[in-house]
């Protein structure tokens, strides 16, 4: 098979690049493009030989793109315009501008790419940006498939429901329907549990806490703390996730030699006291965790699960009657669980990144969480690439 010539747009820390490696497909990245200084540092650190363009996409001309002679585009356009929590500016949002520029550009390329893969948040499927994308694909003669997938579908205990579109340019001998139906067949093979024919028919299989929380808005300072209690339905859902043997256990993704460093990741007393009941707590034997977002390690609600290190302590015994306790007793109780954050390495593991991913020393832990939270699940994308290119 000939090497693909890939254009990686909004490359971030290189999630698509790692997915290509993971897929086993021969490839060459002709250019990776992003303007985020932190993720660019990380990308360059891990892929020193890949041409990384620190440029806005709108600043790159048709001519420049033509010169790259790429046959594949992989992209994760900014998702804030489409999240439920974001302002949903859709195509009016300035952050969608570069994506619209690409949609305008593709039909004018001297050779349109043979393959396109796009990743975005749940919510994109309803956007005008998606409508425009589909219109462009149809007009240019692509066949395409849209699906919603979470890493649990590939056995990874992390919810991160995302929209994916894979498109292939139709050759003279193919008709849209045939390719579409063969894609469908293959998608159900790769993701036996994912809905595949149409992204609107999806079962609500995954943690609702994770949906559309790609970029949660920062909490308002001085907001009163709400003590939210888990409902019976939540507890039932978690139990059934933890009993699902098609998904691996959290312990397979933990760092082995963390002991010395564990203190560093324990939740501070202030966080425990304020947010104890909002935490999503998992044990090493669990088969679930919620989506890690860019605010992990800084904000608590909806940013990702925390790990209970002392598994002998019963969560029920700690939380029962907690509200009536003095702060001091409350803290003593909560500390029995030894709750800690997942380390950036562990978050990377749960997102399917290989051990070879590393961070430059000057990138702080918080920046690492942020960069990872904005990235994608490598294993999921690798499977989709295999499907697209097979």
Ligand X SMILES: *[C@@H]1O[C@H](CO)[C@@H](O)[C@H](O)[C@H]1NC(C)=O
Instruction: State the catalytic residues.
Output: 79
**Is 232:104 a contact under the CB 8 Å cutoff?**
no
Binding mask 316-345 for ligand X (x = CB under 6 A): ------------------------------
Between the CA atoms of 165, 120, 46 and 260, what dihedral angle is there, to the nearest 10 degrees? Answer: -130
249 and 291 Cβ atoms separated by less than 8 Å: no
Can residue 236 be called a binding residue for ligand X (CB under 6 A)? no
Q: Which string of x and - marks every residue 49-88 that binds ligand X (by CB under 6 A)? A: -----x----------------------------------
Ranges of beta strands (E only) in the chain are 4-9, 27-33, 52-53, 72-75, 115-121, 142-149, 162-169, 281-282, 306-308, 339-341
Contacts to ligand X from residues 184-203, by CB under 6 A: 193, 200
What tokens appear for 109 in the block? 């390329």
Closest approach, Cβ 327 to ligand X, in A, equals: 40
Cα–Cα distance for residue pair 88/80, rounded to 1 Å: 7
Q: Determine which residue in the list 36, 66, 180, 244 makes contact with ligand X, applying CB under 6 A.
A: 244
- CB 156 → ligand X: shortest distance, Å? 9
The yes or no reply on residue 249 touching ligand X (CB under 6 A) is no
Q: List strands edge to edge, sheet with 27-33.
A: 52-53, 27-33, 4-9, 72-75, 115-121, 162-169, 142-149
User: Is-contact 302 275, C-beta < 8 A?
Assistant: no
**Closest approach of ligand X to the CB of residue 198, in Å:** 9
From candidates 38, 152, 158, 368, binder to ligand X by CB under 6 A: 152
Nearest residue to ligand X, scored by beta-carbon proximity:
193
* Binding footprint of ligand X, residue count (CB under 6 A): 13
In 3D space, the residue among 147, 70, 149 whose CA is nearest the CA of residue 102 turns out to be 70
Smallest separation (angstroms) from ligand X to the CB of 1: 31
The SS3 of residue 201 is helix
The tokens for 67 are 């010169």
- Given 126, 128, 182, 186, the residue binding ligand X (CB under 6 A): 126
| One of 19, 169, 210, 247 touching ligand X (CB under 6 A) | 247
367 binds ligand X (CB under 6 A): no
Residue 37 engages ligand X in binding (rule: CB under 6 A): yes
* Site stretch for ligand X (CB under 6 A), options 24-32, 170-178, 239-247, 348-356: 239-247
Measure the CA–CA gap between 370 and 280, rounded to whole angstroms: 19
Q: How far apart are CA 105 and CA 297, in angstroms?
A: 39
User: By CB under 6 A, which span of 25-33, 112-120, 213-221, 242-250 interacts with ligand X?
Assistant: 242-250
Q: Which is nearer to ligand X, 212 or 373 (CB)?
A: 212
Tell me the window of 74-82, 173-181, 238-246, 288-296 that interacts with ligand X (CB under 6 A): 238-246
* From 59-67, 141-149, 241-249, 337-345, span contacting ligand X (CB under 6 A): 241-249
Residue 240 lies near ligand X (rule: CB under 6 A): yes
208 binds ligand X (CB under 6 A): no
Return the structure tokens found at 174. Answer: 């193919």
Minimum separation from the CB atom of position 125 to ligand X (A): 6
Contact residue for ligand X among 39, 40, 98, 120 (CB under 6 A): 40
Q: Contact region for ligand X (CB under 6 A) — 25-33, 63-71, 243-251, 349-357?
A: 243-251
Q: Which stretch binds ligand X (CB under 6 A): 244-252, 294-302, 307-315, 329-337?
A: 244-252
Contact 22, 384 (CB under 8 A): no
Contacts of 351 (CB under 8 A, 6+ apart): 15, 151, 158, 160, 292, 372, 375, 376, 377, 378
Angle at CA of residue 101, ends 386 and 23, nearest 5°: 10
* H, E, C per residue of 79-132: CHHHCCCCCCCHHHCHHHHHHHHHHHHHHHCCCCCCEEEEEEECCHHHCHHHHH
- Cβ closer to ligand X: 2 or 201? 201
Write out the residues near ligand X by the rule CB under 6 A.
37, 40, 54, 126, 152-153, 193, 200, 205, 240, 244, 246-247
């Amino acid at each position: 098979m000939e090497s693909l010539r890939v254009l990686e747009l909004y490359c971030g820390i290189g999630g698509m690049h790692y997915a290509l490696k993971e897929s086993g497909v021969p490839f060459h990245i002709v250019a990776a493009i992003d303007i985020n200084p932190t993720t660019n540092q990380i990308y360059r650190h891990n892929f020193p030989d890949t041409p990384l363009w620190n440029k806005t996409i709108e600043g790159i001309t048709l001519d420049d793109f033509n010169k790259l002679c790429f046959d594949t585009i992989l992209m994760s356009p900014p998702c804030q315009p489409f999240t439920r929590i974001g302002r949903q500016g859709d195509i009016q949002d300035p952050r969608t501008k570069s994506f619209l520029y690409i949609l305008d550009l593709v039909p004018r390329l001297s050779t349109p790419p043979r393959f396109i893969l796009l990743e975005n948040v749940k919510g994109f499927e309803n956007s005008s940006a998606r409508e425009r994308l589909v219109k462009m694909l149809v007009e240019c003669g692509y066949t395409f498939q849209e699906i919603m997938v979470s890493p649990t579908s590939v056995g990874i205990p992390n919810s991160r429901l995302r929209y994916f579109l894979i498109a292939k340019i139709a050759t003279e001998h193919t008709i849209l329907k045939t390719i579409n139906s063969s894609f469908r067949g293959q998608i159900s093979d790769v993701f036996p549990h994912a809905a595949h024919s149409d992204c609107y028919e999806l079962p609500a299989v995954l943690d609702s806490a994770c949906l559309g929380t790609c970029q949660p808005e920062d909490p308002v300072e001085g907001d009163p703390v709400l003590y939210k209690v888990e409902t019976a339905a939540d507890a039932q859902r978690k139990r059934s996730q933890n009993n699902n043997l098609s998904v691996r256990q959290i312990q397979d993704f933990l760092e082995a030699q963390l002991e010395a460093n564990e203190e560093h990741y324990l939740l501070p007393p202030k966080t425990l006291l304020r947010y104890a009941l909002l935490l999503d707590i998992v044990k090493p034997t669990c088969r679930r965790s919620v989506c890690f977002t860019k605010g992990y390690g800084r904000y608590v609600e909806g940013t990702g699960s925390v790990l209970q290190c002392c598994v002998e302590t019963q969560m029920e015994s700690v939380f029962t009657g907690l509200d009536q306790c003095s702060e001091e007793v409350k803290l003593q109780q909560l500390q029995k669980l030894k709750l800690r954050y997942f380390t950036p390495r562990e978050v990377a593991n749960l997102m399917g990144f290989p051990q070879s991913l590393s961070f430059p020393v000057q990138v702080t832990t918080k920046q690492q969480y942020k960069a990872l939270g904005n990235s994608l699940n490598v294993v999921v994308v690798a499977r989709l690439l295999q499907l697209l290119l097979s």
